[in-house]
Amino acid sequence: RKLGFAIVGLGKFATQQMMPAFKDCKHANITALVSGSPDKAKKLAAEYGVDPKNIYNYQNFDSIKDNPAVDVVYIVLPPSMHMEYTLRAAKAGKHVLTEKPMATSVEDCQKMIDACNKAGKKLMVAYRAQFEPFNLDAISRIKKGELGKLRQITADHGRIVKPTEEPAEAWRVVKKLAGGGSLMDIGVYSLNAARYLTGEEPTEVTAQEFSDKSDPRFKEVEDTIHFTLRFPSGVLASCTSSYSIQEVKRYRVFGDKAFLDLDPATDYYEHNMTIGTKEGDMKVSLKEGNQFAAELDHMAECVLENKTPKTPGEEGLKDIRIIMAIYEAARTGKKVKL
């Protein structure tokens, strides 16, 4: 059976990546759209075969509770809005899939978890990399001990943010909507990867930030931030995130037997893995998979089989808590214990 998904927010990521991925889903189908722009919603409804009766706006969204065609609400709005729409969706009796970062404060994440628990509904954070075949392969190689004892991880995420040229970037430099700068938006991939690659939770963080305050893009949010995570096994993860460097989405995991390099690591397509040992470097070829469809199907399967999602609200909360510690470490120049 296919579950019905309502897409909330018909912006760049929803329309260019996620909506097209439903065609590859076994258990997920688009049955409703929520948008502030009726013309855009009508056009997309026609394209995706969504009944025009199932188009909502932000004002009448709560009436979705009366629509049995909707099982899951998928929130693809700016981060500060994730909390409100999760609470409204849970109140309407719907399961929730929300985009990353989960929210802009620890308190908001907790409210989202509590609301879905209270309503008896699933809550999942859309960490697509945890459904992507190269990342899954990296995790499995590390677990099998192929790299030996892990010592160090470096993870870098960066791109040039262009708020005046790209409509989808405007909210990214507004603190009230984004919650922060590059760390919230893309540094979260470095952080999340360090956690899923080690399978551990960091115990302390240090950080440094650089933002050119004369650059209008960085009046409210940070540009570049470097942070180090210390894990219980002794692994140190050195991570960066930046809004002013050419695009990078990579990590390298160093063990005492081998390193594993994934570059790009968290792109939409075309990942590139190398394993390096003392015998030399080996390219790993794997079939690319549709991580977006895998993520949507996982959400649907969790509802259908009453399972806890692999990336539940608690997973999103953990990252936001660490992000807040990274900001504190950067602000104070001191190590922050977690």
Nearest one of 262, 302, 320, 318 to 134, comparing CA atoms: 262
Smallest gap from Cβ 284 to ligand NAD, in A, equals 23
Stretch that binds ligand NAD, among 11-19, 66-74, 192-200, 253-261 (CB under 6 A): 11-19
Q: Which of 56, 85, 189, 251 is catalytic?
A: 189
Return the structure tokens found at 295.
């993520």
In whole angstroms, give the CA distance from residue 5 to residue 54.
Answer: 11
Smallest gap from Cβ 177 to ligand NAD, in A, equals 6
Q: What three-state secondary structure class fits 42?
A: helix
Q: Tell me the chain's radius of gyration from C-alpha atoms.
A: 20
Contact residue for ligand NAD among 5, 27, 99, 228 (CB under 6 A): 99
Angle, helices 133-143/188-198, rounded to nearest 10 degrees: 40
Query: How would you classify residue 173: left for phi > 0, otherwise alpha for psi between -120 and 50, otherwise beta?
Result: alpha
Q: Which is nearer to ligand NAD, 150 or 161 (CB)?
A: 161
Stretch that binds ligand NAD, among 72-80, 85-93, 302-310, 330-338 (CB under 6 A): 72-80
* 57 part of the interface to ligand NAD, by CB under 6 A: no
Angle, helices 106-119/82-91, rounded to nearest 10 degrees: 10
* 12 part of the interface to ligand NAD, by CB under 6 A: yes
User: Sheet harboring 95-98: ordered strands across?
Assistant: 55-56, 28-34, 3-8, 72-75, 95-98, 123-125
Q: Which of 94, 100, 122, 318 is catalytic?
A: 100
CA 256 from centroid of its chain's CA atoms: 30
Stretch that binds ligand NAD, among 75-83, 103-111, 236-244, 273-281 (CB under 6 A): 75-83
Measured CA distances, 63 to 44, 86, 337 (Å)? 21, 14, 44
* 171 part of the interface to ligand NAD, by CB under 6 A: yes
In whole angstroms, give the CA distance from residue 132 to residue 119.
Answer: 30
Contact residue for ligand NAD among 6, 27, 67, 78 (CB under 6 A): 78
* 48 part of the interface to ligand NAD, by CB under 6 A: no
Site for ligand NAD in 198-257 (CB under 6 A): none
In whole angstroms, give the CA distance from residue 64 to residue 130.
Answer: 30
* 163 part of the interface to ligand NAD, by CB under 6 A: no
100 in catalytic set: yes
Stretch that binds ligand NAD, among 8-16, 86-94, 104-112, 239-247 (CB under 6 A): 8-16
* 168 part of the interface to ligand NAD, by CB under 6 A: yes
175 in catalytic set: no
Residues that bind ligand NAD (CB under 6 A): 9-14, 36, 76-79, 99-100, 126, 128, 168, 171, 177, 185
Please identify every residue annotated as catalytic: 100, 189
